[in-house]
Amino acid sequence: MNTAERKNLMSEVGNFVRFIISELKPKGKILTPFNVITGAIILAGGVLIVIRFVKGLGATTNLSQDFPWGIWIGFDVMGGVAIAAGGYVIPFMVYILGLEKYHPIVRPAVLTGFLGYCFYGGALLLDLGRPWHVINPLIGNSFGLSSVLFLIAWHFFLYTICEFVEFSPAITEWLGWKRIRQIVGGLTVGAVIFGITLSTLHQSALGALFLMAPTKVHPLWYTNLPVLFFVSSIFGGLSMVIVESSISHKVFQVDPEHHASFDDIVVGLGKAAAGTLFLYFTLKIISIAHGNHWHLLNTSMGHWYLVELIGFVVIPCLLFTYGVRTRNVKLIQTVAFFTVVGVLLNRLNVSIIAFKWDAANRYVPSWMEIVITLAVICAEMWAFRWVVNRMPVLTEHKGWEEEDNVVQMKKEVA
């Protein structure tokens, strides 16, 4: 390498470092109400996380010998993963079913999925008693092949990589790495297919975890868990994409052409959500009939079950259908929000509320568990905003297409 080349390389690296540093700085006003509130929560969460690791789980959580899993599992992991399902549902619609209409929301959906797994899956580390052994399921000689949790560990790991690969075109466009953009772009369909397969399995596996607790989970919820978890992740993911894109379209800059097709997209997603909700309702009814649990519906837990089933499945299904018929985008967005709440409630029911439902000392999360959960959510929103404000997520990347077209034409001529 001669001096000129070396100089050139040094200046390239220098440019790159300067670019990253400039991008790391916050954009826009810093002291907004949103920033102040979320910043305070993240700060408080950070302090509590330190306490948790210094003093142990007992100092910060209300977990007990009877309730070893609280909201960090039941809400953050179970719920977070379910509503991050847009990361495989939307790529399925676009890359497998070829529904090009939904292309504009692939990147935000995949980004939501990827960050969801990083943050809510990452929150798992807070809950592990011995997190320094978290690598044990992946390396070494202690593979617990008979464990559903083993499958989930591997799938979280592999799926997060898939989501990263699916999102990496946006990263390369941001960095201006054109050649790498071509390589990672070619990996997309493979990553999508692998990602959907992994999602099918680990979304249902989160339900299958509780198959090991037949005497602890209330019989109304202890039915057909894997299939119900999978199907509910579909409409949970679809609804979350509706909610997230509705907010994004208000908060962030979006291409005008996206705005035009936006209503169509929301209506289409609402239709898909209505369909899967109906399928889910049917499966729920079959499960009750199969276990002959009708009499349990008229108990206090049965009433609670009906709140979940009617309030957050039947009514959203009907309202989605009505909203699609009348093309009422506002209604669909509102219903989507309640559907997300319903999926979160279902996960909480299976893992906490209907778990040892007859126990004398119930688990109620401590305020510290709640603050840390909120901190994780706020941190994820910051990360989402950081990425969206810098990378082509809601906007189309401009500049390369013309060059690409020229290359394409040259090829065709040749």
Partner 1 sequence: MRRRDFLKTAAISGGALLTGGLASAGTLKSAQDVFNEMASVLVDTTRCIGCRSCEEACAEAHGLPVPDIDDESVFERHRKTDPNHWTVVNRYETEKGTVYAKKQCMHCNQPACASACLVKAMYKTPEGPVIWRGNKCMGCRYCMISCPFDIPKFEYDSPNPRIRKCIMCYERLEKGEQPACVEACPEEAIVFGKRGELLEEAKRRIYNNPDKYVHHVYGEHEVGGTGWLYLAAVPFEQLGFPTNVGTRPYPELTKEFLYGVSLVLLIWPAFLLGISHARREEVKKEEVKKAK
Cβ-Cβ contacts under 8 Å for 196 (sequence gap 6 or more)? 88, 91, 92, 96
For residue 22, state whether it binds partner 1 (rule: CB under 8 A). Answer: no
Q: Which of 9, 13, 36, 212 binds partner 1 (CB under 8 A)?
A: 212
Task: Looking at residues 345 to 364 of the shown chain, list those that interact with partner 1 (rule: CB under 8 A).
Answer: none
Q: Out of 41, 42, 49, 57, point to the residue binding partner 1 (CB under 8 A).
A: 57
- Give the separation between CA 337 and CA 410, rounded to whole angstroms: 49
In the complex, minimum distance from the CB of residue 28 to partner 1, in angstroms, rounded to a whole number = 40
Q: Is the CB of residue 75 less than 8 Å from the CB of residue 347?
A: yes
| Residue position matching structure tokens 């050139």 | 8
Task: Enter the DSSP assignment of 217.
Answer: B
How far apart CA 368 and CA 361 sit, in angstroms, is: 19
Which is nearer to partner 1, 31 or 139 (by Cβ)? 139
Confirm or reject binding of residue 179 to partner 1 (CB under 8 A).
no
Footprint of partner 1 on 74-93 (CB under 8 A): 92
Query: Rule CB under 8 A: which of 190-209 touch partner 1?
Result: 193-194, 196-197, 200-201, 204-205, 208-209
Instruction: By CB under 8 A, name the one of 6, 27, 133, 398 that touches partner 1.
Output: 133
The partner residues of 217 in beta bridges, in order of sequence, read: 355
Q: What angle do CA 231, 90, 204 make, to 5 degrees?
A: 25
Structure tokens at 367: 């305020």
Q: Does residue 292 belong to the site contacting partner 1 (CB under 8 A)?
A: no
Residues paired with 355 in a beta bridge: 217
The yes or no reply on residue 69 touching partner 1 (CB under 8 A) is yes
The secondary structure of 88-120 as a DSSP string is HHHHIIIIIS--GGGGGGHHHHHHHHHHHHHHH
Residue 352 and residue 70 in contact, taking contact as beta carbons nearer than 8 Å: yes
Residues 220-239, one symbol each (x = binds partner 1 by CB under 8 A, - = not), give ------x-------------
147 binding partner 1? (CB under 8 A):
yes
Give the footprint of partner 1 on this chain (CB under 8 A). 53-59, 61, 63-66, 68-69, 92, 95-98, 100, 127-131, 133-134, 136-137, 142-144, 146-151, 153, 189, 193-194, 196-197, 200-201, 204-205, 208-216, 226
